[in-house]
Amino acid sequence: MKSLTVSVAGVSILAFSSPSWAADVQALLNSSDCYTCHAVDQKLVGPSFKMVADRYRGQTGAEDMLASKIISGGTGHWDKDTGGMAMPPHPGFTNAQAKEVANWILSLK
Ligand code: HEC
């Protein structure tokens, strides 16, 4: 049990010392308009990225579903929190980029 705790702590330290993929994701989010409507731990126009992570963490297909929502936009999953606002499409994202972002969001705790 002890070694498990240690290795889990090791993983989170790694995650916060920004491995290159996390830096890429931040660059993507900053170069797009995501942070106008989202924050990591606070609801703005859209749900916070942590709310998204809490809802979908561990669900099969969550990464693909979120990636396609980032590219194609959509509505209906957060109406109670957003009053029915839609997430706009981001056709400039490649599937690989959108999946990296989805992965990063799902890793938030
Ligand atoms: C104009 C405001 C706006 C912008 C800009 C925006 N979003 Fe959203 N986003 C929303 C809203 C509103 C929702 C909730 C949609 C719903 O109810 O299904 C949402 C939902 C999401 C979700 C959850 C999807 C789901 O089905 O649960 C993710 C992930 C997300 N946005 C990521 C992003 C990323 C990444 C960007 C930048 C590329 C971005 N958003 C830009 C408003 C925005």
The model's pTM is: 0.86
Give all strands (DSSP E) within the chain, no chain letters.
Answer: none
Q: How far is the C-alpha of 82 from the C-alpha of 76, rounded, in Å?
A: 9
pLDDT tens digits along 58-93: 999 999 999 999 999 999 999 999 999 999 999 999
Q: Give φ, ψ of 43 to 5 degrees.
A: -70, 130
Ligand 1 and 28: CB distance under 6 A: no
**Domain count along the chain:** 1
* Average of per-residue pLDDT across 89-109: 96
Q: Name the residue of 29, 32, 38 to mutate for ligand 1: max ligand atoms within 8 A of Cβ.
A: 38
Classified as helix, coil or strand, 87 is strand
Supply the CATH number for residue 90's domain: 1.10.760.10
34: in domain: yes
Question: Considering only CA atoms, which residue is closest to atom 3 of ligand 1?
Answer: 37
| Residue with CA nearest ligand 1 atom 26 | 77
Give the residue numbers spanning the domain of 68: 21-106
Residue 76 inside a domain? The answer is yes
